[in-house]
A and B are shown apart, each in its own frame.
Chain A
């Protein structure tokens, strides 16, 4: 079956660094997405990984290990506006996008 696991909630302090992990077991793999979703809004795209390694984009970085079925999203220099849910999603070989349940990130001043 299809399974994507990520922590339900995390708390971090403004200015700090936080890593959100995601593990997956899916029927085929054609890439992994991270989305950010603020309450009441649609998910917005953050990153896409299809090859192993680290992709850096400003304060956000995403890492993928296909052999381990593992990814993480790294957020640096946290700001209050980073308080949101972060969704890990996998594109499967039959072109579906399967979402995890999301990690709600709380930023403390």
Chain B
């Protein structure tokens, strides 16, 4: 069974540019989460999809971040325009219908804004 896949694995962009990160969850997993780890800090929750609906987006830092989940399958996280403080590792995780089970993580996308 394929795991959670994210791409790109690395992205280096200039301040002011746009970047779109993609996450393909495990097939059949209704829950999809985005997390971010900024250097030296904890992994912070960004948002949670249940199927195609945003269940909770309270962790999104500001309106430069836009997440979508087309048809309840893969998800994208767009940062526009990117700022230096957006640099970090963005993790995606998925889990079956209830959150009270193991969440499977992708390998993460390392975003560097220069």
Contacts from A to B (Cβ < 8 Å): 30-31, 33, 35, 41-45, 48, 50, 87, 91, 94-102
Given the known interface contacts A42-B108, A44-B105, the answer about A91 and B99 at a Cβ–Cβ threshold of 8 Å is yes
Contacts from B to A (Cβ < 8 Å): 31, 33, 35, 41-45, 48, 55-56, 91, 93, 98-108
Once the chains are docked, how many angstroms separate the CA of A28 from the CA of B103? 19
18 new A-B contacts at CB < 8 Å, known A45-B102, A95-B55, A96-B45: A30-B100, A31-B100, A33-B103, A35-B105, A42-B105, A44-B105, A45-B103, A48-B101, A50-B100, A94-B56, A95-B48, A96-B99, A97-B103, A98-B45, A99-B35, A99-B42, A99-B44, A102-B42
Give the dominant DSSP class at B's interface: strand
Given the known interface contacts A95-B31, A95-B56, the answer about A100 and B103 at a Cβ–Cβ threshold of 8 Å is no
Nearest-CB distance from A100 to chain B (Å)? Answer: 6
A91 with B106: CB separation less than 8 A: no
Nearest-CB distance from A13 to chain B (Å)? Answer: 27
- Smallest CB-CB separation from A31: which chain B residue? B100
List 23 A-B residue pairs with CB atoms under 8 Å apart, sorted by A's residue number.
A30-B100, A33-B102, A41-B107, A42-B91, A42-B105, A42-B106, A42-B108, A45-B102, A50-B100, A87-B43, A91-B99, A95-B31, A95-B55, A95-B56, A96-B48, A96-B56, A97-B45, A97-B103, A98-B45, A99-B43, A99-B45, A100-B42, A101-B42
Chain B residues with CB below 8 A from A44, complex form: 105
Once the chains are docked, how many angstroms separate the CA of A9 from the CA of B79? 33
Nearest-CB distance from B24 to chain A (Å)? Answer: 14
Nearest-CB distance from A70 to chain B (Å)? Answer: 19
